[in-house]
Amino acid sequence: MDLSELDRDSTGRCRLNSPVPAVCRKEPCILGVDEAGRGPVLGPMVYAICYCPLSRLADLEALKVADSKTLSESERDRLFVKMQEDGDFVGWALDVLSPNLISTSMLGRVKYNLNSLSHDTATGLVQFALDQGVKVAQVFVDTVGLPDTYQERLQQRFPGIEVTVKAKADALYPVVSAASICAKVARDQAVKNWHFVEKLQGLDADYGSGYPNDPKTKAWLRKHVEPVFGFPQFVRFSWRTAQSILEKEAEGVMWEDSLTGDQEGPGRITSYFSEGARVRPRLPHRKSSHAGRSRERASPAGPMLHHGAQSHD
C-alpha cells in the first residue's frame, strides 16, 4: 500500500484506491464502509470502502474476512493481499485523515465534530465509487452515532441504493469486514512508518497503542510535548488526554488580541481557542507573548501543532 502522499503532506488527507474491476461496472454491487483509528490520540483515522458484485459475494465470504479487531496484524495483512490478488472482482478505496486535519476541524471557528467528519468522509467514499462507475446497489455501514439517523441521511443522499446502517456491522456483514481490514492495514502502516517533519530530540517510536488510556502512550506524549509549540503533527491535540498534558507541561501564554487587553500574566494555552476569547478575526502569523518572549505563533499546518481547547477521547 503506497502511502507516500501522506508522507509528503501529513497535514491533510489522502485517498488511495484499487483499480475498479470491470465486472463491478457491469453488475449490481454490494459495498461496505468502515473505519479504523477513530479513538486514538495518535495517528490518522482511516475510512475505507470495499465492494464486489452481488453475484460474487460468496467468493468474498470464502476469503474468511472478519472484523479486523478480531484478527492479528499478520492475518489482516494476508487477507488484504488476498483481496488485491482477487482484484478481478474486489475493489476498495481509502480516505486517510491526518491528525492535523481532525484537530483543526474540531477546533475551527465553525465547529466540525468527529461524527460529522466521519459521516461526510463515508458519504464521499460511496460517491467516489459511483463516480468511478461502480454499480452500487446495496451499502452496509458500521454506524457512527445513531444508526437510524445515519441511515436516513445516507438514504436521502443515495435514494437509488439500499442502505443499511448498523452497530457492529463489521462483525455482521463480510463486505464491511473487508472494509475494516483495508482501513486497519492502512492505519497500521501509517502509524508504523509515520514521517515526522519535526526535528524531535531523542524521538521514541515506542508509543504504545495510541489510545488515550494507554500508559505508554501518555508517557510518550509527556516526553514529546514542546513547551511553546505543543505536539508534533502525529498527535490529535484536540483530544482531552493531549489537552491535559498541555495544561500541565506547556508554558503560559498571553494573546495580543485578547478581549480586554489587560490580562494579568500568562494564562492557559488552550484559552486561545475558547469561545469569546477574541474580538477581531484571526489573522495569520499574529505574534504572542509566550513565557516572556515574543514569538511568531505557528499556524495549525506548521511544523509543530498548536495547543487545543476542545477535547475528544
| Binding residue numbers for a divalent metal cation | 34-35, 142
20-26-31 Cα angle (round to 5): 55
| C-alpha cell read off for 28 | 449490481
Q: Is 13 helix (H, G, I), strand (E, B) or coil?
A: strand
Contacts of 142 (CB under 8 A, 6+ apart): 33, 34, 35, 165, 166, 167, 168, 169, 170, 176, 180
Task: Please name which of 230, 6, 206, 227 lies closest in space to residue 97, comparing C-alpha atoms.
Answer: 6
Determine the Cα–Cα distance for residues 203 and 186; give it in Å rounded to an integer.
23
Residue 44 to residues 96, 116, 233, 250, Cα–Cα distance (Å): 6, 16, 10, 24
Alpha carbons within 13 angstroms on the beta-carbon side of residue 220 total 20
Identify the DSSP state of 235: B
Alpha carbons within 13 angstroms on the beta-carbon side of residue 163 total 23
Determine the Cα–Cα distance for residues 260 and 170; give it in Å rounded to an integer.
52
From the number of C-beta atoms within 10 Å of its C-beta (0-12, 13-18, 19+), residue 186 rates as buried
* 294 φ, ψ (degrees, to nearest 5): -90, 120
Q: Are 221 and 245 in contact (CB under 8 A)?
A: yes
Binding-site residue positions: 34-35, 142
Task: Give the other-Cβ count within 10 Å of 262's Cβ.
Answer: 6
Q: Is 240 helix (H, G, I), strand (E, B) or coil?
A: helix
Determine the Cα–Cα distance for residues 154 and 144; give it in Å rounded to an integer.
12
